[in-house]
Amino acid sequence: MKLTSNEEYGLRCLVRIGLTGSSLTIPEISKAEGVSPAYAAKILRILRRAGFIKAARGKEGGYMLARPADRIVIGDVIDALGGRLFETDFCSQHSGQQSVCTHSVDCSVRSLWRTVQVLVDQVLSKTTLQDLLRNEQEMNSWVRSLPGTSRLSMIQ
Amino acid sequence: MKLTSNEEYGLRCLVRIGLTGSSLTIPEISKAEGVSPAYAAKILRILRRAGFIKAARGKEGGYMLARPADRIVIGDVIDALGGRLFETDFCSQHSGQQSVCTHSVDCSVRSLWRTVQVLVDQVLSKTTLQDLLRNEQEMNSWVRSLPGTSRLSMIQ
DNA sequence: AGCAATCTTGACTTTTTTGTACAGATTAAT
DNA sequence: ATTAATCTGTACAAAAAAGTCAAGATTGCT
């Protein structure tokens, strides 16, 4: 239940591209985010094939957003970079050596994970890249406005 | 951002032990959860060293809860099995080749993760093993009673 | 004491994830 | 056409996680 490197760096690269009106090259992104050019290229390829950014080849080439930032949902980005917390086929994959999930009838564990997944989706599906392009202070007030977070004193 | 195998199987083994009043052996847990005895032993060791279960050696030995189920917080169990989603030192670990996080001043990404982390903690810190020992239907109504989830139609 | 059932530990293998290397393809400018 | 800057793709290497194995230690029973 940790953030993967792909998720962290992928999202940062996307934010970096979004912050720049014009296009950014791999060396530029690599330097800005502190990752190797080769690794930046790998991550950018994932983002490109998932349709969030588009590339221009050749000299004067680079990457830019494939569509406006307010139409890029962060939940979709995270899915592309690292998959969901609780996959729909999780139980069937984790039934061990038995053919059916040993908890299929009375699976309180599954119910708990589903709850956590819903809460995470609640935030990530309502957050767009546009929201992340604001600065941190504005971001804090944005997340406070999300449903389900009103009673929390979340950001110290 | 996926559940790890340790988290899934570890929690299941703990639930299985909690469901059984008396003690359970490694072969019994292994068979009940569909994992190899060796892997069950490895997971049970983590749970034991974290203080959630205690072991009796020798013949007639086995595992049982180290304290009542309502005093075992699931958030603590998950931490022991797989760590937190967003570690407090995450930024310093993921600053790449640069000495400081390149987003330290304007880190909307960090703010987003912190929000997700708080929501997850909100559920996991309020859920005890006792809650998971109910059956699935009761579990569903339990999670609905948690703060922050009231507006969601979460369990289909 | 001897035996069988049981947990304990560390090393090992396999699989997955992370990260790197390099040759190839594309483009703009000259 | 040539060159230099750029993205693209595949293969490879390193690190982490998942899972296995075998030898050892403990305990209850006879």
Domain extent listing, chain B: 5-145
Q: Nearest CB to A151: which of B32, B147, B155?
A: B147
Determine which helix (DSSP H) or strand (DSSP E) holds A113, and give its type and residue range.
helix A108-124
Rg (CA), chain A: 19
* CA→C1' distance for A37 and D11 (Å): 17
* CA→C1' distance for A57 and D5 (Å): 9
Q: What is the pLDDT of residues A16-46, one digit of tens each?
A: 999 888 899 999 999 999 899 999 999 999 9
Give the position of tokens 């600053």.
B95
Most confident segment among B8-17, B81-90, B104-113: B8-17
Chain A, window 23-62: residues with a beta carbon less than 8 angstroms from a chain B beta carbon = 32-36
- Contact between the CB of A25 and strand D at under 7 Å: yes
pLDDT value at position A73? 97
Among A24, A94, A97, A108, most B C-beta atoms within 10 A, so best to mutate, is A108
Q: What is the pLDDT of residues B41-83, one digit of tens each?
A: 999 999 999 999 999 999 999 999 999 999 999 999 999 998 7
Nearest C-alpha neighbor of A102 from the set A111, A90, A94, A114: A94
- Report the helix count and the strand count for chain A, using DSSP H and E: 8, 2
pTM > 0.85: no
Give the single-character DSSP code of A73: B
**What residues contact residue B7 under an 8 Å CB cut-off, 6+ apart?**
A1, B78, B81, B82
Judge whether A63 and A70 are in contact, CB under 8 Å: no
CB contact under 8 A, A120 and B118: no
Give the single-character DSSP code of B98: S
- Contact between the CB of B43 and strand C at under 7 Å: no
C-beta within 7 A of nucleic chain D, residues 88-107 of B: none
Q: A130: nearest CA in chain B? A: B108
Query: Chain B contacts of A84, Cβ < 8 Å?
Result: 1-2
The CATH class, in words, for A5-145 is mainly alpha
Q: Give the nucleotide with minimal C1' distance to the Cα of B61.
A: C6
From start to end of chain B, where are the E strands? Answer: 53-56, 62-65
